[in-house]
Structure 1
């Protein structure tokens, strides 16, 4: 049985150095100690607070350090800065060997890339280390963004060799959305409209019917399934609007420019909606034509 690295996961794992971590961890808020409920307790709290204030001012005058370059807790001052995150050594090697896949720009990897790498570099990569490195890479936000964009899978030479499965695109879209929504320090922004638009685009790019697509991508996450249903509702509303526009355009006998000017619309976007309606009409007519030919 061949081994492979997972393409998308529901639970976030550590990302590469250049990517956001999957599902940012919630910062632990410091809870206050028990408050005084008696006058004696309140006075004691005041005395403690005054003493703490004097100590803080004294530390401030000394630059926040005690003798020997250490802080009040005795830890070296340099230890206060967070250490830079290390990149997995195998990922550094992969970026050097295959910059077109693991470098500044990520590309979706073909299935079986793990075996291809072991075969190409039997002496370079230790099997388990390579598996861990590829797992980190394929769970990184940057990699998931390429999957969510629907890019094709690539081989070691950087050639596209396989289309991305619709369900992988869909689940990558959801995972990237979750990570962005939970990102600390991100401005409050409603990301759902963008997610629904991208879901609609992914569905249309799949070429599948709504029923077939739903069967592929729906899972046990009720919230995710509800977002998909909302996207389908928007898609149906767009279709109805485009079809009504096409009927009005055909009945007007006007050119595109005249029709758009008549309704105060942009000719370019009007043309796109009309083209959308024509494609919908052709798609609906195709099964009927096939059925007539079979008869």
Structure 2
């Protein structure tokens, strides 16, 4: 669905900040559109890093054809910025946890290796 929207409409293809009520514009242009699928596609699109980055710096919203419309409010810009910061923070935490887990696994491997060396040294052969 999202690919279809990107192919058909410049606002999606160019990842422009979408006009408020873009869902109504979509339904008017594509009457057979499943609302649930459309909402899911819109959620994926507007939650993407590319879209949030565009929103963070945007001043104007666009309709389906890419025609400029209403201004982007400071509140919406701030929201996009907060979403990006939360994502970056989560990603940093995930990487930190991965690194810690890898370090712990390496430490466990070294302990096991050391134990095996000691066992072979003191075993009765």
Same topology, TM > 0.5: yes
Greater RCO, 1 or 2 (C-alpha within 8 Å, sep 6+): 2
* Pairing of 1:218-257 with structure 2 (within 5 A): none
Residue 19 of structure 2 corresponds to residue 110 of structure 1: yes
Distance in 1 between residues matched to 2:8 and 2:60, nearest whole Å: 21
Aligned residue pairs total 96
1:53-64 matches, within 5 Å, as none
Q: Secondary structure at the match of 2:91?
A: coil
Query: In proportion to residue count, which structure has more helix?
Result: 2
| Separation (CA, whole Å) in 2 of partners of 1:177 and 1:135 | 18
List gaps (5 residues or longer) in structure 1.
Answer: 1-89, 189-295
Distance in 2 separating the partners of 1:94 and 1:136: 12
4+ residue runs over 4 A deviation? 184-188
**Contact kept in structure 2, 1:107 and 1:151, CA below 8 Å:** no
Tell me how large the CA RMSD over aligned residues is.
Answer: 2.1
1:142 aligns with 2:50: yes
Specify the alignment match of 1:34 in structure 2. Answer: none
- The CA distance in 2 between the partners of 1:126 and 1:171, in whole Å, is 28
- Provide the TM-score with structure 1 as the length reference: 0.30
What are the residue-to-residue correspondences of 1:212-291 with 2, within 5 Å?
A: none
Q: What stretches of structure 2 of length at least 5 have no aligned partner?
A: 97-125
Instruction: Report what 2:6 is aligned to.
Output: 95
Q: How far did residue 185 of structure 1 move?
A: 9.5
Q: Which has the larger radius of gyration?
A: 1
Report the counterpart of residue 183 of structure 1 in structure 2: 91
Q: Residues 111 and 179 of structure 1: is their aligned pair in 2 closer, same or farther, counting only changes over 3 Å?
A: same
